């Protein structure tokens, strides 16, 4: 991050998304068309001289191959350029994570319908690319992106073969060994059926959590590819029926003539298997001890306010037996005997583990459907909601945003297994998440976080949100920690007639102004001195929780944002360049929240923060001066 370039070509660089042995990928912004992009960059100076021309040649092939493809399941390429030692490829920025992440963190063995949906999207992309004369030649989970909405995007055509190109000669070994076909190992020319073979390997891996051919080195893998027949998926995964066995194994036939001859044929075979049935009988599935999440949570919700004051509970594998009440009810008038915690995740094992961990202490509900969970929040007082981010039908950030509107008292926690920057920013700015819990979690940490959230929610009074009147002038100030004069002009223009707007060029000035005025909102540029500013925000929120902070930064990093929420409860984040409309939207939200706290100070307890991981780094004397900051109503 320290060597992050400011610009490449006409594109502003905002963050580093990833780096490999040959290329680095940055998140970028095109100021002309105002679009967020990804730029894949190769630095020629870092390449071995003997390999330089080959690598750059393949990079240009990727530009040519992907640039001619326009399909909803293929990462779009927009531009290619060279600047000094840098060669770069400008492409669509996909907010999501690769399929490898799901193979590591999720178990699809009981969800073959979801696997088939993934495969049909991959095959749709390949059917299109093959029709355009482009063979990918390196289909594998790392090159398959899953967006936040659950769509598939194939990336990295760096080793693609274009029918009109002679850049890759017969005899080259191109691909990733575990996904390579026999003809690739033999150095023969790859065609569409080569991609079908690799897609079948991915299919097998998703269904079984095993690769069909594994070994300690490439030679062992190659030997098995040539000589062994994979074990049928239904034998490796006893949850499966045998409907997919012939489909998967045909896709991996050793002779290309015996495979599906097109992605279209492969898709038809999958659809036929779906019509037959992908899972064994319900009894057989139950014998596997795979948890099943109650599919009809609403029935339990509608029957929640029992006569004795006990809320009906749903545990994994059960549904409340009390009769449903129709029409839909308002929130229960009788509170449950224990605080209510709702966990939402589309993965059964996660819900089972969380239910077991908390069921003795709280009334625990679980749901694998975020829309049903939202209906529950509308009808029952839920004290704490813990939601996964990536779920079919509704993202976690969308659920948190909806819950914030219908139940402001519900403390919202995001459960995340990856650091998707856009999702993190959205959950803060839109869902106002209180904490992040990372998968895999530490049991003691998650128990402590949920306990703190429950304590806040149960003590929080019911008050309507304060709304900004139209005209009056307010005494409290908006403080801008803005060494580069980036946001202060907009703040003065938008708020100068109604509020006292002050600019601080450094932390010393900021603390002086905090001592002199009642500050409602502080807009802080994080880039001047990230560690010192972070320490200031942490100490402010710890001792003066009513002050709302908005962080502005050039280089957003998901882990940094998570730390700033957990340790400093930052109210909003804004990336540079700062838009005036976005700034006004977030400052308005912060002012409204400040006056809500001012009317009911007990609400500010929701701003409780965790101890900073490292000791505060404020310069000598500044920490002592913080104790004299003006509080509510001080003049």
pLDDT at 210 over 60: yes
Tokens of 180: 């390579």
Half-sphere exposure of 190 (CA within 13 A, CB side): 31
Rounded-to-integer distance, Cα 132 and Cα 128, Å: 6
Q: Where are the beta strands (DSSP E) in 185-296?
A: none
pLDDT at 582 over 80: yes
User: What secondary structure letter does DSSP report for 465?
Assistant: P
Model pTM greater than 0.85? no
Rounded-to-integer distance, Cα 628 and Cα 634, Å: 11
Please indicate whether residue 30 is annotated as part of the active site.
no
Q: Where are the beta strands (DSSP E) in 72-171?
A: 77-83, 86-92, 96-98, 134-135, 144-147, 152-154, 161-162
When pLDDT is averaged across residues 230-247 and rounded to a whole number, the result is 94
- What mean pLDDT value characterizes the chain? 78
Look at residue 303 in the predicted model and tell me its pLDDT.
43
327 within 8 A of 300, measured Cβ to Cβ: no
pLDDT exceeding 90 applies to what percent of the chain?
Answer: 23
Half-sphere exposure of 192 (CA within 13 A, CB side): 21
Q: What share of the chain is helix, strand, coil (3-state, %, to 5)?
A: 40, 20, 40
Look at residue 243 in the predicted model and tell me its pLDDT.
93
Look at residue 605 in the predicted model and tell me its pLDDT.
67
Look at residue 252 in the predicted model and tell me its pLDDT.
96
Among 230, 199, 213, 193, smallest CA distance to 116 is for 199
Look at residue 317 in the predicted model and tell me its pLDDT.
31
Region of residue 148 (left: phi > 0; alpha: psi -120 to 50; beta: else)? alpha
Chain segment 167-200, per-residue pLDDT in tens:
333 334 455 789 999 999 888 888 999 999 999 9
Rounded-to-integer distance, Cα 301 and Cα 616, Å: 46
Look at residue 197 in the predicted model and tell me its pLDDT.
97
Region of residue 633 (left: phi > 0; alpha: psi -120 to 50; beta: else)? left
Mapped onto helix, strand or coil, the DSSP state of residue 343 is: strand
Tell me how far CA of residue 414 lies from CA of 48, 110, 236, 398, 423, in angstroms: 44, 25, 34, 11, 10
479 within 8 A of 521, measured Cβ to Cβ: yes
Q: Residue 522 pairs with which residues in a beta bridge?
A: 479, 549
Confidence of residue 206 (pLDDT cuts 50, 70, 90): very high
Could you say which of 138, 195, 388, 420 is catalytic?
138
Rounded-to-integer distance, Cα 304 and Cα 314, Å: 10
């Amino acid at each position: 991050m320290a060597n992050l370039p400011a610009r490449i070509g006409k594109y502003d660089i905002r963050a580093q998304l990833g780096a490999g042995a040959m290329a680095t990928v940055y998140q970028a912004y095109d100021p002309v068309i105002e679009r967020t992009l990804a730029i894949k960059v190769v630095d020629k100076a870092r390449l071995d001289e003997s390999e330089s021309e080959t690598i750059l040649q393949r990079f240009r092939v990727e530009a040519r191959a992907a640039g001619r493809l326009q399909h909803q399941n293929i990462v779009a390429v927009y531009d290619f350029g060279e600047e000094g030692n840098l060669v770069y490829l400008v492409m669509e920025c996909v907010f999501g994570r690769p399929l490898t992440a799901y193979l590591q963190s999720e178990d699809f063995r009981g969800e073959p319908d979801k696997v088939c949906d993934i495969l049909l999207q991959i095959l749709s992309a390949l059917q299109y690319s093959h029709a355009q004369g482009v063979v990918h030649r390196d289909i594998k989970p790392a090159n398959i992106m899953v967006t936040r909405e659950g769509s598939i995007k194939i990336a990295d055509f760096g080793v693609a073969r274009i029918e009109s190109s002679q850049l890759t000669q017969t005899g080259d070994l191109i691909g990733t060994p575990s996904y390579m076909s026999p003809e690739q190992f033999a150095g023969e020319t790859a065609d569409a059926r080569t991609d079908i073979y690799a897609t079948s390997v991915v299919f097998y891996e998703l269904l079984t959590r095993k690769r069909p051919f594994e070994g300690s080195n490439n030679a062992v893998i190659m030997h098995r590819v040539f000589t062994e027949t994979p074990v049928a998926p239904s034998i490796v995964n006893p949850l499966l029926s045998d409907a997919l066995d012939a489909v998967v194994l045909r896709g991996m036939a050793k002779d290309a003539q015996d495979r599906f001859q097109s992605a279209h044929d492969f898709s038809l075979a999958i659809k036929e298997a779906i019509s037959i049935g992908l899972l064994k009988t319900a009894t057989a599935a139950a014998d596997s001890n795979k948890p099943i999440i109650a599919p009809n949570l609403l029935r339990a919700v509608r029957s929640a306010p029992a006569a004795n004051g006990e809320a009906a509970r749903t545990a994994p594998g059960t549904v409340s037996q009390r009769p449903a009440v129709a029409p839909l009810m308002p929130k229960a008038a009788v509170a449950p005997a224990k605080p209510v915690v709702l966990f939402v995740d589309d993965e059964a094992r996660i819900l089972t583990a969380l239910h077991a961990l908390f069921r003795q202490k709280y009334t625990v509900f679980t749901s694998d459907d975020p829309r049903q969970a939202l209906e529950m929040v509308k009808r029952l007082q839920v004290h704490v909601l813990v939601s996964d981010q990536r779920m079919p039908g509704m993202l976690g950030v969308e659920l948190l945003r909806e819950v914030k509107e219908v139940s402001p008292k519900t403390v919202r926690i995001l459960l995340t297994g990856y650091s998707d920057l856009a999702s993190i920013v959205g959950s803060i700015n839109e869902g106002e998440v209180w904490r992040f819990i990372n998968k895999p979690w530490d049991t003691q940490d998650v128990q402590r976080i949920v306990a703190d959230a429950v304590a806040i929610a149960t003590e929080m009074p019911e008050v309507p949100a304060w709304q900004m009147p139209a005209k009056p002038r307010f005494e409290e100030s908006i403080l801008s920690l803005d060494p580069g004069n980036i946001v202060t002009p907009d703040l003065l223009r938008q708020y100068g007639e109604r509020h006292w707007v002050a600019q601080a060029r450094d932390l010393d000035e900021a603390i002086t102004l905090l001592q002199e005025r009642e500050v409602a909102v502080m807009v802080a540029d994080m880039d001047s001195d990230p560690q010192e500013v972070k320490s200031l925000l942490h100490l402010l929120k710890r001792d003066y929780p009513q002050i709302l902070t908005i962080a502005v930064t050039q280089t957003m990093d998901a882990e940094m944002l998570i730390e700033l929420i957990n340790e400093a409860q930052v109210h909003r984040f804004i990336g540079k360049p700062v838009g005036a409309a976005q700034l006004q939207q977030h400052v308005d939200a912060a002012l409204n929240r400040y006056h809500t706290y001012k009317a009911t100070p007990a609400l500010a307890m929701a701003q409780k923060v965790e101890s900073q991981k490292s000791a505060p780094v404020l310069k000598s004397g500044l920490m002592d001066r913080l104790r004299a900051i003006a509080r509510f109503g001080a003049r």
